[in-house]
Amino acid sequence: VVEPNWQEMVNKCKAAVNVDEIMVQHTKFLDCCLVSCMLTNTRLFKILSEIMTSCTIFAEWFPETVSSRFGTRDRASVASLVAETLQETVAQFERNFDQRLKELLQQLNGIRAQDKMGSVDVQLKHLIQRLDF
């Protein structure tokens, strides 16, 4: 998203005759990137941030947990330990992720209703279409 818009801005700035034109192009670049990255809707941004945070926490937690449990015990004792505590924790991560995903889909359904007025940007329309399965 950023690179093509950056190249376009650089090319337009080369043709600029004064600083004001460069500032206008830079502002257009920033606006375009914000819209293309879907960062203009604060409710969506909050939900997406929570989803990414959940994924990051899980991605950091899982390898540490597995390596610490597999490092000092034999497979039989690890299997019984993992079966109980690991499954509970993974289930908690899954519930959290599922809840955030439901919130995202509800928000997107609300945005879809606004689309009848033509107020939804193209990138968001594509996301809604891809998630509508």
Query: Is the torsion defined by CA of 102, 107, 113, 115 positive or negative?
Result: negative
pLDDT digits (tens, 9 = 90+) for 62-121: 887 767 655 555 566 656 666 677 788 889 999 999 999 999 888 888 877 776 666 667
State residue 78's pLDDT score. 56
Q: Which of 45, 50, 36, 44 is nearest to 105 (CA)?
A: 44
How many CB atoms sit inside 10 A of residue 9's CB?
19
Crossing angle of the two packed helices 87-114 and 42-72, in degrees rounded to 10: 160
Give the list of residues 6+ apart from residue 101 with CB closer than 8 angstroms, or none: 51
State residue 55's pLDDT score. 94
What does the alpha-carbon distance between residue 122 and residue 13 come to, in Å, rounded to a whole number?
Answer: 26
**Average pLDDT estimate for 40-59:** 92
Q: For residue 133, is pLDDT > 60?
A: no
pLDDT digits (tens, 9 = 90+) for 9-37: 999 999 999 999 999 999 999 999 988 88
